[in-house]
Amino acid sequence: MKTEKKLASATRRLVPTLLVAVAITLFACKGDEPLAAKHNVEFILELPTGIDASALEAVEVSLTGASLAKEEKGKCNAEGKISFSLEAGVYNVSASKITEEFSLNGNMQVTVSENASFTIKLHAASLAGGLIFKEIYYSGSETLEGKAYFSDQFVEIYNNSDEVLYLDGIAISCIAPEASGKNPSKWVDVAGNLLPRLAVSGYACYFPGSGKDYPIQPRTSIVIAQDAIDHQSDPLGNPNSPVNLGPGKANWELYVGHINQGKDADVADVPNLEVLYATQTTRHDALYSVFGPAMILFRLPQGVDPKEFAKDSKNIATEPGDTKGKTKYLMIPKEYVIDAVEGIRPEGEKRNKRLHTELDAGYVFCEKAYNSKSIRRKVKQIVDGKVIYQDSNNSSKDFLGDQTPAPGVHPTKIDQ
């Protein structure tokens, strides 16, 4: 009996001790959850041939990915190397630097699962001035009834040089796919690289003229309207529209009524661009995707007739993998492109690029469709009251999203 009493007493003393020990253990476990493993990942930059190796130093490399709370940035050493400590996952990597003569850009997507080293090939673009996209208003607006309205779209082209340039023969279009989405572009080769020719989609239009009929003065712009009316006051317009694109405001119009059997209205006081090619003729207007078009400004080689170029079967293709081949696309060699802007959807999983890195290493977007906002190029300098816009062939750095449309109006201060 005494032995049983001693056991019972010992047990009573032991139980609280055990409870405390368990509580301490549980608390310790809760606070000591294992951290995700980190991997040492090195990025090595590769310069294009002919660029001095000194350009490698201080190239900025930035990373985004689901495992990062925010964008990570760093600058390379003199050998063009930089390392990050990263969790396993998929990362979008971009590298950029502006020298006195060139903008250097590169990007890639990498999958990290262990310590690794990746090479980023940089592409060089001349900083010499030329014709550029100053502003693109593609998002459209909502009517008083809450309906979608896109007839107020416009594109503004700027002469960023200090000499007279000519619009004659310059063409404008968006490329396929017309809006970025969850799936990468199908216009790739077997290795997944973008094809060297771009498939224009919708209506591709160009400026008429024999060579020097349509000059554009240094540091000035022209506005191309989808419909050249005052969209705020015209009975056919939208009082909620942010723009007046009537005669005197718009310099050119994208009229396609002769292609789609008269479904597009023509403003007689505003000259029309010529239609180079149409992937489909059922659209009433030369519409660009409100979800983010990839836009190109291009010029055919001297002596090449635009109409003949568009008729040549060698310049026509169907989408890779399209067994039916109903839609025929006009293919433009990337070397013909003067300027390019990658407009995309804002959702992270839908930011798949369609433009080559050397044409545009980045992208820009408006937060949503029909929000009456535009994308506008940043002001780099203002010299003698004239704007010089930033043009490094990287829209992530060169453009501002969600801007109030201002066709024909240029800022009076430098953008930071």
- For residues 283 and 345, membership in a common domain is answered with yes
The phi, psi pair for 343, rounded to 5°, reads -90, 135
Question: Is 367 a member of any domain?
Answer: yes
Cβ proximity of 374 and 366 under 8 Å = yes
Question: Is 190 a member of any domain?
Answer: yes
Strand partners, 112: 89
Question: Is 355 a member of any domain?
Answer: yes
Give the pLDDT confidence score for residue 391 in this predicted structure: 93
Domain edge (last residue) among 77, 110, 126: 126
Question: Is 268 a member of any domain?
Answer: yes
66 band by pLDDT with thresholds 50, 70 and 90: confident
pTM of the model: 0.78
The closest of 337, 338, 340, 341 to 375, measured between CA atoms, is 341
Give the pLDDT confidence score for residue 98 in this predicted structure: 87
Determine the structural domain holding residue 92 and report its residue range.
Answer: 39-126
Measure Cα distances from 282 to 69, 190, 262 in Å.
45, 33, 11
Upstream peptide bond of 196 is cis (omega within 30 degrees of 0): no
- CATH number for 77: 2.60.40.10
Question: Is 413 a member of any domain?
Answer: no
- For residues 316 and 192, membership in a common domain is answered with yes
Strands 252-253 and 221-225: parallel
**Tokens standing for 112?**
């990290």
| Number of structural domains in the chain | 3
Q: Is residue 126 predicted with pLDDT exceeding 70?
A: no
Write down the H helix ranges in 282-389: 306-311
**Tokens standing for 218?**
């240094």
- For residues 109 and 139, membership in a common domain is answered with no
Domain edge (last residue) among 96, 126, 156: 126
**Tokens standing for 395?**
């829209």
- DSSP states of 52-82: -GGGGTT-EEEEEETT-SS-EEEE--TTSEE
Q: Is residue 148 predicted with pLDDT exceeding 90?
A: yes
- For residues 202 and 95, membership in a common domain is answered with no
Write down the H helix ranges in 214-291: none
Give the pLDDT confidence score for residue 139 in this predicted structure: 97
Average pLDDT over residues 130-147: 97
Question: Is 207 a member of any domain?
Answer: yes
- For residues 169 and 46, membership in a common domain is answered with no
2 band by pLDDT with thresholds 50, 70 and 90: very low
Composition of the chain by helix, strand, coil, percent to 5: 15, 35, 50
Domain edge (last residue) among 101, 126, 151: 126
Strands (E), 113-169: 116-121, 123-126, 131-137, 141-142, 148-149, 154-159, 165-166
Average pLDDT, the chain: 90
**Tokens standing for 237?**
């317009």
Cβ proximity of 76 and 53 under 8 Å = no
- For residues 287 and 393, membership in a common domain is answered with yes
Give the pLDDT confidence score for residue 177 in this predicted structure: 95
> How far is 314 from 178, CA to CA, in rounded Å?
22
